[in-house]
Structure 1
């Protein structure tokens, strides 16, 4: 007897109404008792030869309609689990294929060759990338040359991690787990960086990034303001995803004269918002907040950058009540300590940006108990074909 896949579970498996979970099934597929899948109208042909082995993607077998519905369901399910009434769920934004501007890849020497790519799903084995449909072409173009470079540096059974980020000046490459002391290897790094016109090449052998090549300071433009990019610093995964988040934040705080931007990072929101408002930008990581402070000063933007750990020392409700609006963009752990103070603050508007629906829903439940109302949520699918969900949400009193 065939069962119908009616939805996707949190890890991307197809689910039936009677509780069966079927890997690589899409909504509308029919599943026989022996597990055979008859593709339905939402079942797509995966574009990449590495799917489903590669852990970079889990959902290449579904169409965009089902992917958008999956993002909405993840957020709605998290809110229901916390007893939060569902708000308006806006149409998700989906980043197109081949638009990721940053990635972390692994490399390892196996015999006489180096393999480089993402880990296999639920494994430490590396998928040696021959193609990739999520990385921007300029990022993927460095995979083969980096593989050849590392072949001269990696010892047998030794591994490395490679962070690739597109900057205003070109590609930023950070290689961790490799020590280069010999003259020949040092020269090879320089030649590689020059030949590929890198913005920066840095190595981290366990003592922090050490820049080996940076002709001009590597920057990223945020709100039209160039910000120095610390090696390995966080940046939104795709330019269009960043723009979609910023569009939602601007709508929520429009007209506010003073704004507190909590967990501000490099200034993804603080710098664009500072074109029309005074902004307090709080960030716990030292290098990003110093980069933000310097960028705002050079551009003459009204931003006060505060190096502050909001988990250990959250702003009080009294301090937050001085602002017209708040933007909060915490890491995956959410903002449990800070949200308690926000719940009691005399504020009318808040933009909550999240990369974890579960901790977002937990924090919203705390805010709702303090009198806040969740007006709308827009899911953002920056990590194309993955189960990772981001969002921007509007809260008000």
Structure 2
């Protein structure tokens, strides 16, 4: 049975929050909404008193697809909400720091998308999942993607049809690179020789730069390259890349600025080198990363780029074997960009070190605050935090925090 509730706030996941609390997607503070409750969550039936901050979503799949949750929010309200997510998280952790205004880093759109491919009664379908469910929403295009990715749902569908006999649910990652579209399929398992030939033919027909399965290259027709500062990197198959090109450039610019004047920098959780390759234009860099293909790609890019300072690489699991103070103390600055789980073990070793500057990049405000608390307890001062919005229309926000240790400790 439907009931009316008044929306009081905007929650951390983009839901409107009513009494109870009750979480209602696609609603805004001050609105009166007709909803159907399901425990603490509710389904929106109608908005009876729209907020002045409500705008018309531009995507035809918005109320079906769960990828975006805030296209109905005006830009100024949206920016204030996202900035507030960071401020509130730090406040709850007892951390006082300047939080700069939200930096819009959407640029020309997402340069990587992951599609889900599933068999349906009507045949193979490709798309995204509905909000907080495993129901597939079939799509023909994604409006928040970079223009090069606009045909990618059709391309992913064509490849999925070649793999349909396995009857397995597939995840198909497509990345826009300077060499063309790079596609990696997950969930199928190894392909036999006959299937590989079929996939090679598909890659030729679809003009893919590269096609791989679980990181195993089926065919590479052109190197899938991306620029990183002066360097040109060949992306490892299925490798991680920041969601937007402008997002990467923005994060890297903040990191390079934080490390200004440093002669020796350690880049921890370095990935394929978005920070290390740019830092090496000014400083000697040690890049530490567990993912060996990413580290090898970084190394090849560094070696083939004239004018860079020395870049050393070290494959290492920093969760189990963080760099120790004796190893850290030879660096003028340390950069760390861990996964969503944060870098608690490494933060504890940094807190015991004498490193003057730490630039901490994070995709999760909660784990950033936890690790920041460790560094602050070890004597660092958090000078500022800059939130970066490369995941526009989602509740995700990137952060770059600049920590300095008083010079007396050096």
TM-score by length of 1: 0.91
**2:139 is matched with which residue?**
129
In 2, Cα distance between the equivalents of 1:96 and 1:227? 21
- The separation in 2 between residues aligned to 1:297 and 1:70, in whole angstroms, is 43
Contact 2:58 2:71 in 1 (8 A): yes
Q: For residues 53 and 2 of structure 1, what CA distance do their matches in structure 2 show?
A: 22
1:293 to 299, 323, 341: 299
Partner of 2:246: 240
- Contact between 1:229 and 1:291, CA under 8 Å: does it hold in 2? yes
Which whole-Å deviations, capped at 9, do the CAs of 1:218-260 have from their partners, x for residues lacking one? 3322112122221111100000111111121122111111111
2:208 is aligned to 198
Does residue 173 in structure 1 map to residue 175 in structure 2? no
- Distance in structure 2 (CA, Å) of the matches to 1:76 and 1:118: 31
Pick one of 4, 7, 10 that aligns with 2:12: 10
Contact 1:262–1:326 under 8 Å retained in 2: yes
Equivalent of 2:290, from 267, 284, 291? 284
Alignment of 1:113-262 (within 5 A): 113-155=123-165, 157-178=167-188, 180-181=191-192, 183=194, 185-204=195-214, 209-262=215-268
Whether 1:308 aligns to 2:308 is no
1:352 to 352, 356, 360: 360
Unaligned runs of 5+ in 2: 37-43, 406-410
* Structure 1 residues 369 and 255, CA gap change in structure 2 (3 angstroms): same
Choose the corresponding residue for 2:84, options 73, 76, 80. 73
CA distance in structure 2 between the aligned counterparts of 1:2 and 1:303, rounded to whole angstroms: 61
Work out which of the residue numbers 338, 342, 366 in structure 1 matches 2:346: 338
Classify 1:97/1:133 alpha carbon distance in 2 versus 1 (closer, same or farther; 3 Å).
farther
What 5-or-longer segments of structure 1 have no aligned partner? none
Aligned 8 A contact 2:106 2:247 in 1 = no
Q: Deviations over 1:158-182 (max 9, x none)?
A: 3211011122211101122336447
Counterpart CA distance in 2 for 1:168 and 1:64 is 31
Whether the 8 Å contact between 2:107 and 2:245 is mirrored in structure 1 is no
1:44 corresponds to: 55
State the distance in 2 between where 1:99 and 1:338 align.
33
Residues 322-364 of structure 1 deviation map (CA, whole Å, 9 limit, x = unaligned): 1111111011110000000111211222111001111000000
Shift of 1:148: 3.3
Determine the structure 1 residue equivalent to 2:408: none
The secondary structure found in structure 2 opposite 1:279 is strand
| 1:382 equivalent in structure 2 | 390
- Contact in 2 for aligned 1:79/1:361 (Cα 8 Å): yes
Equivalent residue, structure 1, for 2:39? none
Give 3-state SS (helix, strand or coil) of 1:127's partner. Answer: strand
Partner of 1:272: 278
Given the alignment, which residue of 299, 321, 327 partners 1:319? 327
Q: Equivalents in 1 of 2:155, 2:329: separation in Å? A: 53
- Contact 1:97–1:384 (8 Å) recurs in 2: no
Given that 1:153 and 1:180 are in contact with CA atoms closer than 8 Å, whether structure 2 keeps it comes out as no
Aligned to 1:155, the other structure's residue is in SS state helix
Task: Return the offset for 1:201.
Answer: 0.9
Alignment CA distance shift 1:351-1:315 (3 Å)? same
Distance 1:327 1:58 in 2: 31
Query: What count of residue pairs does the alignment treat as equivalent?
Result: 391
Question: How many Å separate the matches in 2 of 1:317 and 1:180?
Answer: 46
Indicate the larger mover: 93-102 or 356-365.
93-102
Partners of 1:309 and 1:237 lie apart in 2 by: 24
C-alpha RMSD of matched pairs (Å): 2.4
CA distance in 2, matches of 1:396, 1:152: 54
Q: Spell out, residue by residue over 1:281-324, the C-alpha distance to the aligned partner (whole angstroms, 9 max, x if none).
A: 11111111111122212225311111111111111122212111
Distance 1:333 1:250, change over 3 A: same
* Cα drift, residue 30 of structure 1: 4.3
C-alpha displacement of 1:262: 0.7
Q: Is the contact between residue 353 and residue 392 of structure 1 (CA under 8 Å) also seen in structure 2? A: yes
Equivalent pair of 2:107/2:246 in contact (CA under 8 Å)? no
Secondary structure, counterpart of 1:171 in structure 2 = strand
Distance 2:230 2:8 in 1: 44
Structure with the larger RCO, 1 or 2 (CA within 8 Å, 6+ apart): 1
Instruction: Check if 1:23 corresponds to 2:25.
Output: yes
TM-fit CA distance, 1:18: 8.4
Provide the C-alpha distance between the structure 2 equivalents of 1:152 and 1:297, rounded to a whole number of angstroms: 38
Partner of residue 63, structure 1: 74
Identify which range, 138-147 or 57-66, moves more after superposition.
138-147
* 1:368 to partner: Cα distance: 0.9
CA 1:180/1:62 → structure 2, altered by over 3 Å: closer, same or farther?
Answer: same
Distance 2:236 2:114 in 1: 15
2:375 maps to 367
